[in-house]
Amino acid sequence: MQKILDLREFEKKQAEGELAKALSEVTKIQSELENIAKRRVAVSKMNDASADFSFRAQSQSYFIMLSQKQEKYLEELAAAQLVAEQKRDAVRQAMQKVKVLEKLRDSKFREWKKELAAEEEKNTDDVVTSRFGQNQ
């Protein structure tokens, strides 16, 4: 029983590690999206302060490139979030399997303790009965 529980614990830890990797990927993509937004704001401020037509034209091209990158990252984010949700489900299932085995183990342990107590009580009764029989 303990070997199976240890195996399930190991599987749970692996699932948790995979979930951590998936969440890390989601966080990385979100960070990239935030960087794109910050760059867009910075260039917009410089664009507003500039009167150079050439700079404004270049900044529009830059905005188009940022939009394309943003779209790419949004697609990656959606895929990464799906993977993270699948990993989250795997962790839940692994945790549930461990919990079931722990409950079974605890139940078997309580049952064993009851049997042990009943056997000890029977042995004690036998000793008392034999002593009582010898005294009469």
Which pLDDT tens digit goes with each residue over 4-59? 888 889 999 999 999 999 999 999 999 999 999 999 999 988 888 878 888 888 88
pTM for the model = 0.69
Confidence of residue 78 (pLDDT cuts 50, 70, 90): very high
Burial tier of 29 (Cβ tally within 10 Å: 0-12, 13-18, 19+): buried
The closest alpha carbon to 18, from 94, 69, 73, 74, belongs to 94
Q: How many CB atoms lie within 10 A of CB 55?
A: 15
CA distance 100 to 113: 20
Q: What is the DSSP letter of 51?
A: -
Tokens of 14: 């692996």
CA distance 59 to 52: 11
Query: 1, exposed or middle or buried, with CB in 10 Å at 0-12, 13-18, 19+?
Result: exposed
How far apart CA 90 and CA 96 sit, in angstroms, is 10
Q: How sure is the predictor about 131, in pLDDT bands with cuts at 50, 70 and 90? A: low
Dihedral pair phi/psi, residue 51, rounded to 5°: -110, 0
